[in-house]
Amino acid sequence: MAFQGNNHLLNWRRRSKRKTPGQKMQLKMDDIDEWMKRVEMASEFAVSEVLTSGTNSRAMALQSAEQLQDHDDAYSEAQALLSDWMSSKLRLELEMDEEDDPAAPAVPTAVLPAFMDYSSFDELYNHLAEEEEGKTVSSFLQELMDRELLDPGTAQDLLLDLDQARRRTRDPSVTMEARHRQVRETRARRDAERERLRRAQEARRAALEEARQREREAEARRREEARRGEALVQKEMGRLRRQMEEQKALEQRGRQKEREKLDREKAAVLPPSAGPSFSTYRPPAEQSQSRLHILNLQCLQRPFSGWYSVVLERRLQLGRAAALCDWKRSLRAWRAWRTLVWAAREHREREATEEELRTEHRRDQLAPGGDRRRLLRRCFSTWQLWWQSEKGQRELLAQQEQTRSKMAALISAASTGRLRGPEAPAQGLGPPGPTGEGADPPGVPDRVGTVRQKKTDVLPPAPSSGRQGDSPAVPPLMRPPQPWQVTRRHAAVSACERRQAQRRRGAGGAAAQGPRSEPRHAAQQHTIALQRKLLREQQEQILLLQKERCLLEARGAPEQRAQGRTGDQNSWGRTPTRNAANQQRPLLDPVVMAMEERARLRLERRREVEEMRRKKEEEKLAQMKVEEEERRRQEQEERREEERRRREERRLQREREEQQQQRVRSQQALQTTARHHHQRSLLLRRGLAPWQRLLRLKRGHEQLAVRHHRGRVLSTGLRAWHHWTRASLSEKQAAADQLNRQLLLRQAVACWRRLVECRARLEERAQDHHRATAQRRVLRALLALLTRERLLQWDRLEEARQHSSRRVLRRCLRVWVLLPGRQREEREKEARREQLRRRVEEVLPDFRCSPLGSF
């Protein structure tokens, strides 16, 4: 399918239609104005398509990736159909051209244009100019294709040929099957991409959910901590409230006791009841005076009780303020102490972390150097062992090569008869020496001595020779010339070596002895293997020599019988019978016997060496067992020491904890003592001392008043006047009491009325205040809600606007990013079309012969 707004992408449809002569128009390449107008229109269209906020042209141009894929599929199908059509049209002409000129070069394939990045409008204009030129060429080719230059008969023949060629073309089912396969692969890729995107979204969603879960857990932990802190504060407030209540109860009990004491003092000061008494007689003046005194005391008691209540209230308020201040101070001190402890702990943890990081960094810096040195030492020791083994191997190979050459020379000399001499029979009959040297023939000693000297020089040094340099006072044993001549005395360990080994074991243990014993054992094994190999080679040489000697005897027997030679030549021939075998010994029997003797000695020496090696291995195993036991014992000691150290650390930790708890308890006790002392000092300085001073002052005033009254009464001198005065005073007192009661009643009624009115006014004001406060609170809540909703709406609008801007910008960028690809595809399509046009132009004579309407 194709887009409605991009029909120019499928130019093959329009070019395949027949144009009328009225629609044909030749474009002039020199029309600069028209070209500039088209370029400006194209640039304006591109800018408006990318930068405008509308979605009409963009939605019509690029709707989805699936439509683009369908468009590419349709375009590929159309291109395949066009290729089939061109191949069916050009096959006949190509076959004719191949028959005419088989050496003609093949049609070059079209080279796809490279990717162009339109970073400026100049490149876009150049591309448009090239596209315009391509359209001009295509229109010219289309006009050439529309021309009818053949008669109907020729066209009919060409149609028949075309039908035959079309029958010979490939099966369209294969093309359809390939297209279906391509569509399935495309669908599978799209499904895989969707699955990948879905998995990515699920992973992102899971990560977001996990982050939210962690945030919720952190919020829950914070709420739990806040709740615990609130509970601690409430607990502390409850404790302080209980303390204040207890203090208040104590103060109330103190006030009650003071009140009772005052009552008792009043009862003691007041005279007894005025009943009939015959013992004492009190005149009316004295009674009126006492009544006046009681009234004065009552008048004094009212302000004093009011003042005392005010003092108690003020004291209670001061106590509450002091308790609250103390609690706030304690809370502030506790918070400061907690902050200080946390800061100290964080500082310690930070220092510990920094120290650990520095230690780890230092270890990381030192580890490569130490590891490198260890690797260098190991590689150097390995290289030394390898170099020694290679050196020994090369020496052994050189020795073997020389031995082979000497043995080959000896065998060749023996086979050619050059070893014969005049003293051969005499020497052959002599007994062989203990080492086989006296049995060598006169021609052999030089060669055999040379071979032995070479073997002696080539053999590697004994394993104990490396340690003999450590004790220059003890002369080392002379190394025997042959390996099989080594005895137990040569292989035995000397006293100096034994002391050195014990010293090394005492200093470094088995770790220092292992690397030396292993190369020694390896050298011994290597020497034994080389000796075995040399023995096998010598045995093979002996067998070959015996075979050659038998062949020589078999060949020389007929000649000896024909020539009648006996005597010296009997040593090289052999009779069929074995009766004279002991009298006719060959010349090489002493050599063979010496070699056999040497082989036997080598076998004995090998057995001795193996026995010594086995004993040394047993000793080494026993020593390793002892060292292993020692190591295990040391490990057990270390573990016990570690356990003891851990127990000591735990004990010290417990002691530190106990000391810390003791310090905490002592601090708590000191705080309790300080609190009690503070409360006692407050009671003494602000409660009891002023009250006691007031009581003492009151008592002094009372005593002074009593003394003054007594002196005044005693100074009157006239009892009658005193009685009259007391009577008149009593009457006046009664009148005053009556007036006072009336006044008090009136004042009480007036106060009660004022109180009722004030209460009504206060209730009304309270209702008004409550109503206004409630309305204000509701209005403030509504205003806050409206403000919050408005802010949320503004935020949502802003987020929506930003989201819309990002969406528009994303779509614009997507269109802008896809534009070069679409243009590149268009250029590739135009290039392919240009190639097809060129091919059509090349085969134009054949194309003129085919009418366009037949297709």
Q: Which two tokens stand for residue 283?
A: 């005149």
How many C-beta atoms surround the C-beta of residue 782 within 10 A?
Answer: 10
CA 312 to chain centre: 70
Is 820 part of any domain? yes
Q: For residue 609, with 0-12 CB atoms within 10 Å meaning exposed, 13-18 middle and 19 or more buried, which class applies?
A: buried
> In whole angstroms, what is the distance from residue 509 CA to residue 466 CA?
20
> In whole angstroms, what is the distance from residue 237 CA to residue 222 CA?
22
Is 127 part of any domain? yes
CA 367 to chain centre: 22
> In whole angstroms, what is the distance from residue 298 CA to residue 744 CA?
15
**What pLDDT score was predicted for residue 570?**
44
| CB-based contact 77:8 (threshold 8 Å) | no
> In whole angstroms, what is the distance from residue 550 CA to residue 555 CA?
9
| CB-based contact 295:323 (threshold 8 Å) | no
> In whole angstroms, what is the distance from residue 351 CA to residue 408 CA?
82
Is 746 part of any domain? no
**What pLDDT score was predicted for residue 463?**
38
Q: Which phi-psi region, left, alpha or beta, contains residue 28 (left: φ > 0; alpha: ψ -120 to 50)?
A: beta
> In whole angstroms, what is the distance from residue 323 CA to residue 329 CA?
10
Is 80 part of any domain? yes
**What pLDDT score was predicted for residue 782?**
87
**What pLDDT score was predicted for residue 60?**
42
Q: What is the total count of domains within the chain?
A: 1
**What pLDDT score was predicted for residue 451?**
39
How many C-beta atoms surround the C-beta of residue 622 within 10 A?
Answer: 10
**What pLDDT score was predicted for residue 155?**
64
pTM for the complete prediction? 0.20
669-703 burial: b if 16+ Cβ within 10 Å, else e: eeeeeeeeeebeebbeebbeeebeeeeeeeeeeee
Is 767 part of any domain? no
CA dihedral 804, 807, 812, 818 (to 10 degrees): -170
The residue segments making up the domain with residue 833 are 7-147+801-854
**What pLDDT score was predicted for residue 19?**
44
Length of the chain: 855
> In whole angstroms, what is the distance from residue 198 CA to residue 219 CA?
31
In degrees, to the nearest 5, what angle opens at C-alpha 233 toward C-alphas 232 and 239? 90
Q: Is the dihedral of CA 545, 546, 551, 552 positive or negative?
A: positive
**What pLDDT score was predicted for residue 595?**
78
- Positions of the chain with pLDDT under 70: 1-75, 77-79, 81-83, 85-125, 144-145, 147-173, 266-283, 417-521, 523-524, 553-589, 685-688, 713, 715-722, 843-855
| CB-based contact 435:597 (threshold 8 Å) | yes
**What pLDDT score was predicted for residue 7?**
44
Q: Which two tokens stand for residue 134?
A: 């391509």
Is 92 part of any domain? yes
Amino acid occupying residue 126: N
> In whole angstroms, what is the distance from residue 796 CA to residue 798 CA?
5
Which of these, 368, 452, 366, lies nearest to 407 by C-alpha position? 452
Is 31 part of any domain? yes
> In whole angstroms, what is the distance from residue 438 CA to residue 590 CA?
9
Is 470 part of any domain? no
